[in-house]
Amino acid sequence: MSETKSPPSYEDAAIQHGALPVRAAGAGKAVPKGPFPIDIPVLNLLRGKRVILASASPRRKQILSMLGLNFEILPSTKPENLSKENLGPFEYVLQTALQKALDVYETTLTQNPVSVSAPDPSLVIGADTVVVTASGLILEKPRSQADHIRMLKMLRDQKVHKVFTAVVVIAPREDARSPGYNTETAVEETKVVFDEEVGDELIEAYVKTREGADKAGGYGLQGLGSLLVERIEGASDNVVGLPLRATLRCIEGAVLRQGGNGSEEEDEDGEEE
């Protein structure tokens, strides 16, 4: 049984987070680093296991790191070429995230020899984010400065848009029942209202900062892009790229749901339980 460690003192925690003046620690005493890992069963099961984030997004990395897991970054190389018109925004973002997660999971199983340093993954997390305008147009990352300016002016002029982020979590099944893994998915929706009084000059100046060049919709809510936004309705981390609550729910479902496949099980006599 692993030893249960006491959480750090509130004084030490406050020092780490900058709420108190930093004082020199005594000889041989190390002040613990924060934030401190959240102590819940599913995350404890994953500590020391191979966890992969199938995304190169630094925002997703930062959000996921709040759970206290050690994870590696292994983006999918599969082309994102699904049909926006045929699928619609909800299904498009979900299928794209699923494609990313499955690509990375299957690649690690087939190309990497199992070893102590690179075992099979215990968890793969994929995500995708799109912006959907009031007129129903699906926006991803801007392709050029001119495209970027047009994109932001359109979002301002239409005032309201929605951000959809899909999360897909894959974990191997202990019983290896086909297909050999559990998949949990979620799609979060957040309404964003742009400030219609934002002028062209501010939009053009923001585009030149390049903060939004690698972001769906062309702006970063967590940075200078907040100057363009009047308000949001829903989760802010969903707009940033990874809704943490939904991600944790998916992790719990994929890792802990090992006893069945979601359908009614049959007992040894062939009767439904």
Whether residue 12 lies in the annotated active site: no
CA distance 11 to 56: 36
Angle between helices 145-158 and 200-209 (to 10 degrees): 140
259's enclosing H/E stretch is none
Which residues touch 109 (CB under 8 Å, ≥6 apart)?
A: 120, 121
CA separation, residue 60 to residues 42, 123, 135, 167, 267 (Å): 20, 16, 28, 11, 43
- Catalytic one among 12, 39, 120, 128? 128
CA distance 90 to 84: 10
CA separation, residue 112 to residues 75, 120, 195 (Å): 15, 8, 49
CA distance 57 to 92: 19
Catalytic residues: 128
